Amino acid sequence: MRTQISCLVVLVCLAPAALAQDVEFFGGYSHLRTTGTDDEHVGINGWDAALSANLRSWGVVADLSNYYGASTTNFTPVGSGGHGFMYLFGPQYSIRLVPRVTPFVHALFGRVDGAREIVEPLPGGACPSSGCSGISTTPETAFAMAVGGGLDVKVRKHVWVRLIQADNIRQGFSIGAMNSPRISAGVVF
């Protein structure tokens, strides 16, 4: 929680310095698909928020996201079971040829703070969420990077809709590196 508050304070402090440029704030829904044990695919939901300062086509982005979810396998990777908070920073290139449509690409680097949930099943079967003998969490922090892009469409003077943002997230945890596709959509101000 302290890390999340620190990131938000940094974003708020940097916002006035970027006012002389084109500043955008994005907020919306995000879905992350990870691979658990035995190559089980786990889809988890959360939110994604980003602050970007643009000077013409090039800009700098601070991207924050948080995901919530659990799996019924015994050992679920950090970021797929439990929770995972990512904060990523990096350059973004926007293609501003059409006035009402702006596609963009970015490469973001940072960290992911997560907690691996270890679910102990009942003897002889799978573990329903309410019938487990115990759930414990192991916190872990790892390097993360995202490569991807998206498409913003203008709705009103200062309101845009991010139709899609698609990223490939690479997370380097102690249990092994994970490549996770992420899809986000929301509103840009």
Q: pLDDT by residue (tens digit) across 117-150?
A: 555 555 555 555 555 555 556 778 889 999 999 9
Domain count, the chain: 1
Q: Which CATH number belongs to the domain containing residue 34 in this structure?
A: 2.40.160.20
* Three state DSSP letters for 142-168: EEEEEEEEEEEEECCCCCEEEEEEEEE
pLDDT higher than 60, residue 157:
yes
Average pLDDT over residues 23-36: 88
Distance (Å, whole) CA 11 – CA 6:
9
CB atoms within 10 A of CB 186: 18
Pairing status of strand 101-120 against strand 160-173: unpaired
Q: Note down the domain range covering 73.
A: 2-188
The confidence band for 55, taking pLDDT boundaries of 50, 70 and 90, is: confident
Residues 70-105: tens digit of each pLDDT: 544 433 344 444 567 899 999 999 999 998 999 999
Look at residue 134 in the predicted model and tell me its pLDDT: 53
> Could you tell me which of 35, 45, 22 has the C-alpha nearest to residue 77?
35
pLDDT bracket for residue 4 (50, 70, 90): low
Class of residue 119 by CB neighbours under 10 A (exposed 0-12, middle 13-18, buried 19+): buried
Question: Tell me, what DSSP letter sits at residue 122?
Answer: P
